[in-house]
A and B are shown apart, each in its own frame.
Chain A
Amino acid sequence: AQTVTQSQPEMSVQEAETVTLSCTYDTSENNYYLFWYKQPPSRQMILVIRQEAYKQQNATENRFSVNFQKAAKSFSLKISDSQLGDTAMYFCAFMKQSARQLTFGSGTQLTVLP
Chain B
Amino acid sequence: GAVVSQHPSWVICKSGTSVKIECRSLDFQATTMFWYRQFPKQSLMLMATSNEGSKATYEQGVEKDKFLINHASLTLSTLTVTSAHPEDSSFYICSARDGRTSGVRAMINEQFFGPGTRLTVL
B15 within 8 A of A: no
What's the count of A-B pairs with C-beta under 8 Å? Answer: 47
| Stretch with Cβ within 8 A of A (4 or more), from B16-24, B41-49, B62-70, B76-84 | B41-49
> Is B107 a contact partner of A43 (Cβ separation < 8 A)?
no
B107 touches A33 (CB 8 A): yes
Contact check: which of A46, A97, A104 meets B44 at CB < 8 Å?
A: A104
Q: Among A46, A97, A100, point to the contact of B32 (Cβ < 8 A).
A: A100
The answer, yes or no, to whether A67 is at the interface (CB within 8 Å) is no
Pick the contact of A106 from B32, B42, B91 — CB < 8 Å?
B42
Name the interface size band of chain B: 20 to 34
B104 to chain A, nearest CB (A): 8
- Quick check: A43 and B115 within 8 Å, CB to CB? yes
Are A45 and B49 CB-contacts (below 8 A) given A100-B32, A107-B43? no
- In the complex, which residue of chain B has the Cβ closest to the Cβ of A35? B110
Subset of 26 A-B contacts with CB under 8 Å = A33-B107, A33-B108, A35-B110, A42-B115, A43-B93, A43-B115, A43-B116, A44-B116, A45-B113, A46-B113, A47-B110, A50-B108, A50-B110, A91-B43, A97-B107, A100-B34, A100-B49, A100-B97, A100-B111, A102-B44, A102-B46, A102-B111, A104-B44, A106-B42, A107-B42, A109-B41
